[in-house]
Amino acid sequence: MCYDARAYYFGADWSCAVSETSGNLPAASAGVWSEVRKLSLLTGPILIAQLTQMLMSVVDTLMAGRVGATDLAAVAVGGSIWTPATLLVFGFALALAPVISHAHGAGEYKRMANMLQQGFYTCAISALLVVGLVYLAPLFLNMMDVEEDFRRKTFDYLTYILWGTPGLVLYMVLRNFCEGLSHTMPSLVIGVIGLLINIPANYIFIYGSFGAPALGGAGAGVASALVYWGMGLSLLGYVLVAKRYRKLMLLSQIYLPSWDDIWHFVRLGFPISMSLFFEVSLFAAVAILIAPLGSIMVSSHQIALNISSLVYMFPLSLSMAVTLRVGFALGSAQVMDAMRSYKVALVLGVGFAVVNGLGMWLGGRYLAGFYTEDNAIIELAGTLLGLAAIFTVSDTFQAISIGALRGYKDTRAAMVVTLVSYWPFGLTVGVVLGRTDLLVPAMGPAGFWIGFISGLSVAAVLLTIRLFRVHRQTLNAQ
């Protein structure tokens, strides 16, 4: 029999089952193969949950496109405003996972109710900023002198989706709380249900059905808001009812906002948000710089980016899993186990990236053929996917290093590294190679992809150096 805090809070045999069930982390003494198994079991549900979020956006775009080009454009532009804005909330929510995983490893379960509520307060405050930013969007659309119908539909889409912000915040916070405890299945199940609800909800509000008005593309905003509320409330209901959380007494006491705790989340979460923003904004900037080169080059770039983004879902999910593993190990005062988790994740991730890279390099033109029948676009997209094969390895390396650093609660270094690597270095290389003749004849999109590779490779090296330095400092502090 095992007797410790985990046994009390999660059942008498919980701590013994830690290395036997997919919902919990392996024991500190587990070997490399056990680590591989546990990382895989954590990564799988996270990956599916991430894919459901991506597919919701795809469904919105496809269903709005059937109404007309203006509605399709309104959803696309509205989404390009909404998604970066929500990165602020997402970063703060991600900060909750390592905080909970550290407490999980240390057996500090009595503090978790307060941690959860303080995390919610932090995300709620950041959500107010998101609402303000989104409401400023029409001002920029007016400055761009766009068509009135397009401007109105974009504004309607954003107005409707904003009503789902509280539900989205609730879902993000609870998802990261559950994942901090290494319970990844709830967000998977609820994410899949949300996707399945999104399709009929889109049908009702985009095309008009069951007495609802036909709102066109703006109806996708209504559907998304309803899905956000449904996902948030469903996950809340699960956390309150599930036996595994009952002894945590998450809402038995309502804690007032603690500015010290909120500031702790801000110091962890804001750098995460900014790191995400630097990456998203880099791709947006490159798309703008490629736009004048013509539709063939723009389309080829978009196809290559779409395929590589889909492939990136695995290292992203593995990065989130390694945050949990590292945080748990450090909370348990097992510093060497934290480094082992990182190394195992790195081997898994880079191995996956190499296999997928070979697939993109050898079959890039075949993959591009699923998007278009234009031979010029297919040829260029195939070339870009060959570069994406290298890009994927560098991206995987830096993503897993960032995930491990979050487990060490070191997020500011990643923010600085991504800023310097992506923008002054990577983008500069891309512009010089893609749009000028300074070094070689202008390479177009290929030059920008070499810039991506350069920036991500520099980030991977610097982040790895930082990780080993933090690891040594943590080891020496024991």
**Splitting the chain (478 residues) into consecutive groups of 10 residues, what average pLDDT does each group show?**
38 37 44 83 88 83 78 78 83 90 83 89 90 77 70 86 92 92 90 90 89 85 93 93 85 87 90 87 80 77 82 90 89 85 91 89 84 80 88 90 91 91 90 85 85 91 93 83
Burial of 295 (0-12, 13-18, 19+ CB in 10 A): exposed
pTM for this prediction: 0.83
Sign of torsion over alpha carbons 11, 116, 86, 348: negative
Burial of 66 (0-12, 13-18, 19+ CB in 10 A): exposed
pLDDT for residue 129: 86
Task: Report the candidate in 313, 303, 319, 390 with the shortest Cα–Cα distance to residue 94.
Answer: 319
Q: State pLDDT tens for residues 19-44.
A: 333 344 444 444 778 888 888 888 88
Domain boundaries, the chain: 49-257, 275-478
pLDDT for residue 403: 92
pLDDT for residue 144: 63
pLDDT for residue 318: 93
pLDDT for residue 59: 82
pLDDT for residue 4: 40
pLDDT for residue 400: 94
pLDDT for residue 169: 93
Terminal CA-to-CA distance of the chain, rounded, Å?
A: 29
Burial of 197 (0-12, 13-18, 19+ CB in 10 A): middle
pLDDT for residue 7: 37
Task: Report the candidate in 309, 324, 458 with the shortest Cα–Cα distance to residue 384.
Answer: 309
pLDDT for residue 145: 65
pLDDT for residue 131: 84
Would residue 249 be called left, alpha or beta, if left means φ above 0 and alpha means ψ between -120 and 50 degrees?
A: left
